[in-house]
Amino acid sequence: MKGENILLLDIREQAIFADYFVICSGTSDRMLKALQEAVAEKVGQEYKIKARLEGNSGDGWVLADFGDVIVHLFSPQKRTFYRLEELWSQAKVLLHLQ
C-alpha cells in the first residue's frame, strides 16, 4: 500500500516478552484500520493465532500482539513521537521497506 513504511526487528537478544517487532506506518485512520484487519485476518487464517489488540486507528496507534510477534501500526506523527526504531536500535533489522 502506498504510504506504508515497514520495519521488521529481531528483538530476541534484547527482550524476553517477544521475538520480533513489526513497525508499520499508515497515512490515514482508514489505512491503519485496514492494516489491522488484514494482519489479524491473515495471521488468524495461516497460524490460527488471535491477535490481542490495543489502541485504535483513530488515535494513530494500534498494537497487535501475536505472542512472539508484536505488530505496531502508527500514523507518521505517532511513529515519530514513540520512536521505537531508536528505542530498539540494538535490535537486528531483518527487513526495511519504504
Instruction: Report pLDDT digits (tens) over 22-66.
Output: 999 999 999 999 999 999 999 999 999 999 999 999 999 999 999
| Model pTM score | 0.91
Spatial CA neighbour of 75 closest among 36, 6, 24, 38: 24
**Cα-trace Rg, the chain:** 13
CATH number reported for the structural domain that contains residue 79 in this entry: 3.30.460.10
**Number of CB atoms found within 10 A of residue 7's CB:** 21
Q: Tell me: pLDDT of 2 over 90.
A: no
> What secondary structure letter does DSSP report for 83?
-
| Count of domains observed in the chain | 1
Residue 76 clears pLDDT 60, i.e. is over it: yes
Domain range for 75 is 5-97
